[in-house]
Amino acid sequence: MKPALTALGALSVVALLAGCSAAEDDSSSTPSGPGSPAPAAITGEVTVFAAASLKSTFTELGARFENDHPGTKVTLNFAGSSDLVAQLAQGAPADVLASADTTTMTRALDDGLVAGVPADFATNTLTIVTPPGNPAGIASFADLADSAVQVVVCAPQVPCGAATEKVENATGVTLTPVSEESGVTDVLGKITSGQADAGLVYVTDAASAGDRVTAIPFPESSDAVNTYPIATLTEATNPSAAQTFVGLVTGPQGREVLSAAGFGTP
């Protein structure tokens, strides 16, 4: 009986060793824990199309992105949101779109330009700006309807222009602007250069202009709050970097930078 027991014992040892080997093979095929390989590094260029009102904040966030991911380059294109969507529809290459309202982003979605579901990341409202010292004596939104006041606004197809129209409809005040601009930064430029008595821009643009303008808040602006969405694009050439950039904007660092610039939380 002893030889039989010895043979049986040897078979058990062989089986045990085989089981351990198989377990080791399984664990190596699905690595986990501290020894797991790190995710692939984000590299290469990421092109971001962003609303003009995001210029200062996205320039800062682009620099942070490049610092956090060595070997990357963020290329930023700023313009009116509707102009950006038109450029994309015509085949302009980009990885990320950040617009100044949900209407424009919906247009991009309908055109098949956007991948996935856009994420809302900020809000903004309008304010009146005048040259320093407010020489025309503007005190309210209704004052902008005075025929003696030269007013500059955004064109209706631009988010800041659409917001202006909402305020007009809510107040019953009709403006007769001397100029309708394609972007909020163009309106601001008309005021800082002294070419108009007053303009309507976002509170964040007025803040960035500092003492080059006088800002005049008006309560009716609450009738036209713009929500800013961001999304990766279907034709993105660097989707991993695009998704990571969106994560930066919608995450704590993005919130910090946007809040400091005066943007609200959606």
Q: Check whether 228 is labelled as a binding-site residue.
A: no
263: its two tokens: 């943007």
Q: Check whether 208 is labelled as a binding-site residue.
A: no
Q: Check whether 56 is labelled as a binding-site residue.
A: no
Q: Check whether 222 is labelled as a binding-site residue.
A: no
Distance CA 143, CA 121 (A): 33
- Enumerate the known binding-site residues: 53, 81, 184, 202
- Enumerate the known binding-site residues for molybdate: 53, 81, 184, 202
